[in-house]
A and B are shown apart, each in its own frame.
Chain A
Amino acid sequence: DQQVKQNSPSLSVQEGRISILNCDYTNSMFDYFLWYKKYPAEGPTFLISISSIKDKNEDGRFTVFLNKSAKHLSLHIVPSQPGDSAVYFCAALNAGNMLTFGGGTRLMVKP
């Protein structure tokens, strides 16, 4: 059973608009969440994270929101740029420092 789920396999957004990528989790023991970005032929690279004691973390164009009661987090990218086109993975950490990844969402930003 997948403990971290990204239900949208792909998302297409116009340049300059907002991209919203969603992630749901089932394990209430997760206490730290991360977003990774992956280009083809490269390993995932860390993008932004949030601790479970917060509900929002912002870094430039990227903002992650956490709704613990709903076990839901989202990544907002605004404004979206063509270079943001990649696969985005949501990941959750438990106390044992074990990352559990979602299946990824492929974001396509059209010029």
Chain B
Amino acid sequence: ETGVTQTPRHLVMGMTNKKSLKCEQHLGHNAMYWYKQSAKKPLELMFVYSLEERVENNSVPSRFSPECPNSSHLFLHLHTLQPEDSALYLCASSPGGHTDTQYFGPGTRLTVL
């Protein structure tokens, strides 16, 4: 399997649930990213990891908790989400240098009831 994969592709959860989104890249990249795409809004960068260290957190609420156990895997742990958190969550990876192209996964469509 190649490229960037994300599981699950669709997720419906209640506000009291705890769930996790998984991203895996098979490209040997050093940087991984979480983005959120809400309806009619630009892609929003949430978290950036470079060499498994978090380097950027764009003031994301604490109900979103990222984890990067190694350079190939990235998780987004979700707990006590709100309905407005319903969105498409995209993972991306890049080799790690400036001007590197980011390669995106297919996304997880999250619905919070």
Contact = CB atoms under 8 A, between A and B. Distances in A.
B45 A43 contact: no
Interface size class of B (residues with CB under 8 A): 20 to 34
Contacts of A4: 42
B92 interface: yes
B45 A99 contact: yes
Given A43-B90, A43-B107, A99 B102 contact: yes
Interface size class of A (residues with CB under 8 A): 20 to 34
A100 interface: yes
A34 to B, nearest CB: 7
B61 interface: no
B95 to A, nearest CB: 10
A100 B92 contact: no
A32 interface: yes
Interface of A: 2, 4, 32, 34, 36, 41-46, 49, 51, 89, 91, 93, 95-104
Interface of B: 4, 6, 31, 33, 35, 40-43, 45, 48, 56, 90-92, 94, 96-107
